[in-house]
Amino acid sequence: MTLDVSVAVVGAGPVGATLATALAARGIRAAVIDAAPLPPMEMPEFDGRCYAISRGSRPLLEDAGIWEHLPEPPCPIETIQVADGEPGRPPSRLGLTFRAAETDVDAFGWMVEARSLRVALNARLPALPSLSVFAPATAQVLERGPDGVRLRLSTGQEITARLLVAAEGRASPLRRAAGIAVDRLDYHRMGMVGAFAHEYPHGNQALEMFLPNGPFAQLPLAEPPAGSPFPHASAFVWSDRTAIAQRMMALDDAAFSRELARRVGDALGQVALVGRRWAYPLKAMHAARYTAERLALVGDAAHGIHPIAGQGLNLGFHDATSLAALVAEALDAGEDPGSPALLARYQAARRPKTVAMLGATHALERLFGNSFGPIRLARRLGIAAVDRIGPLKQAFARAAMG
Ligand SMILES: Cc1cc2nc3c(=O)[nH]c(=O)nc-3n(C[C@H](O)[C@H](O)[C@H](O)COP(=O)(O)OP(=O)(O)OC[C@H]3O[C@@H](n4cnc5c(N)ncnc54)[C@H](O)[C@@H]3O)c2cc1C
């Protein structure tokens, strides 16, 4: 029997699954389809991958009932310290410190383990009566035209929908099939991510250190996994030249921990890698359009940015917030949730904001990835100046909250 829904979401990664949940939590009939089985995505072991969820993303997760299902407490980021530095040397004293308390909020954002978010999503997806989940399954588009969309799943199930959402990540087959072009930029760097345990408390402070080959971020975690050698833990996002990153990834855990220590400095005492470490090539990408007939792109299917500002996933959450609100508004008004007018509103709401974020992260990467002496000095003075100019500092703080 054909299943008829308002919205069919292809891809149940963090963005697609959150969007489907947010729609269904409002009583909107939706289906979500993922090529991979969902339970293995919530691996039982701590794996070191974490997300910085900005203040602006939290309401989406709360309204969708996901936040309350997080199995471990998210760690608030109350202070962000920005500094210029070099491996093995203390950060420049011309730094910049953002304190949430100075901006009248309790936190800029929260650190959440990727596994924790998956556990919460997997708990929420089957609990919503207006949501149908198909995983593992793939979807073939039989028809995408003025009247709607018709899909046939690999399970044999047929689905009709008013709106199709591509949430299958960077390689998005739906985006490609719609002929939407993509701009790409290769930073020729790799991002290494993971977690480490440390001797002294982090005080819910994050450090963004601009090293000559790329930024290094330490982000506070609520607690270390069981059996850690030290009582506190943080995540790291370390971007470096590809050849160096490959060398680092080939080191054993003890040698890698020593390299981490050279970048983190002394403030956290002794450090040791915990869980796995991951590396991925840093490439920005951006779809020329976020929509086609009856189709909307969300998350990494639409954009991929440098991790320098930790906003990659948050951009996807903002896509989901915007699209869920537009669809709900249309349905409340008895209108078509996949109409050209709605899709134009979605693109107008999201694409310029993502362009601005892509531009800002690119400029930061270029400015801070430069070790030429005069530029480094100007950068250090600039950082110190921002620290003293209240309104400018406030503007940066608001951007960090997403
Ligand atoms: C190694 C690594 C580490 C990262 N670390 C961080 C980090 O620390 N912090 C951070 O903010 N961001 C990080 N990112 C980026 C972050 O993971 C992405 O921004 C985020 O996952 C995007 O979510 P998404 O749901 O749009 O896409 P994805 O997470 O890519 O999810 C896509 C989903 O679609 C499914 N799918 C794919 N093809 C099909 C198909 N044909 N049919 C049906 N389903 C399909 C996949 O199975 C998957 O579940 C990292 C990325 C990588 C690769």
Q: What is the pLDDT of residues 166-179, one digit of tens each?
A: 999 999 999 999 99
Average pLDDT for 20-27 = 98
11 lines ligand 1 (CB under 6 A): yes
> Ligand 1 centroid vs 59 CA: distance in angstroms?
21
Half-sphere exposure for 31 (CA within 13 Å, toward CB)? 27
Find the 167 Cα to ligand 1 centroid distance in Å.
Answer: 9
Cβ–ligand 1 distance for 372 under 6 Å, the answer no
Ligand 1 mean position to 148 CA, how many Å?
27
Mean pLDDT of 80-105: 75
Tens digits of per-residue pLDDT, 61-76?
999 999 999 998 899 9
Nearest residue by C-alpha to atom 36 in ligand 1: 168
CA angle 401/77/58 to nearest 5° reads 50
Query: In order of start, what are the domains of the chain with their CATH numbers?
Result: 3-44+121-183+286-364 (3.50.50.60), 68-113+185-283+368-400 (3.30.9.10)
The single-letter DSSP state of residue 231 is S
Which H or E run contains 53? strand 50-54
Residue 350 has pLDDT above 80, yes or no: yes
Distance 95 CA to ligand 1 centre (A): 33
Task: Please state whether 160 falls in left (phi above 0), alpha (psi between -120 and 50) or beta.
Answer: beta
- Rounded to whole angstroms, the Cα distance separating 252 from 273 reads 10
> Longest Cα pair distance anywhere in the chain, in angstroms?
69
Q: Which of 38, 157, 193, 286 to mutate to test ligand 1, by most ligand atoms within 8 A of the CB atom? A: 193
The atom of ligand 1 lying closest to the CA of 310 is 11
Strand order in the sheet with 182-198: 96-99, 79-84, 205-211, 214-220, 232-241, 182-198, 271-287, 303-304
Element containing residue 98 per DSSP (H, E): strand 96-99
- Asked if residue 113 has its Cβ within 6 Å of ligand 1, the reply is no
**What is the Cβ-side half-sphere exposure of residue 366, based on CA atoms within 13 angstroms?**
8
| Residues 6 or more apart whose Cβ sits within 8 Å of residue 211 | 85, 86, 87, 240, 263
* Start-to-end C-alpha separation, the chain: 43
Pick the range with the lowest mean pLDDT from 16-25, 311-320, 372-381: 372-381
Ligand 1 atom, smallest distance to 50 CA: 8
| Atom nearest to 167 CA in ligand 1 | 26
Contact 31, 3 (CB under 8 A): yes
pLDDT of residue 390: 56
Q: Is 14 in the pocket of ligand 1 (CB under 6 A)?
A: yes
| Distance separating alpha carbons of residues 134 and 242, to the nearest angstrom | 38
Give me the phi and psi of 122, to 5 degrees please: -65, -25
Question: Which residue has the least CA distance to atom 20 on ligand 1?
Answer: 313
276 close to 43: Cβ distance less than 8 angstroms: no
Give the position of tokens 């899909």.
151
Q: Ligand 1 centroid vs 301 CA: distance in angstroms?
A: 9
The DSSP output letter for 292 is: E
306 pocket-lining for ligand 1 (C-beta < 6 Å): no
109 lines ligand 1 (CB under 6 A): no
SS3 (DSSP) at 133? strand
Q: Is the pLDDT of residue 355 over 60?
A: yes
User: Distance between CA 41 and CA 118 in Å, rounded?
Assistant: 7
Please tell me the least confidently modeled range out of 110-124, 257-271, 359-373: 359-373
Residue 229: both structure tokens together? 């050698």
pLDDT at position 266 is: 87
Query: Locate tokens 């070790």: which residue?
Result: 371
pLDDT of amino acid 75: 96
The rounded Å distance from CA 261 to ligand 1 centre is 29
- Cβ 38 under 6 angstroms from ligand 1: no
User: What whole-number percentage of the chain has pLDDT above 70?
Assistant: 85
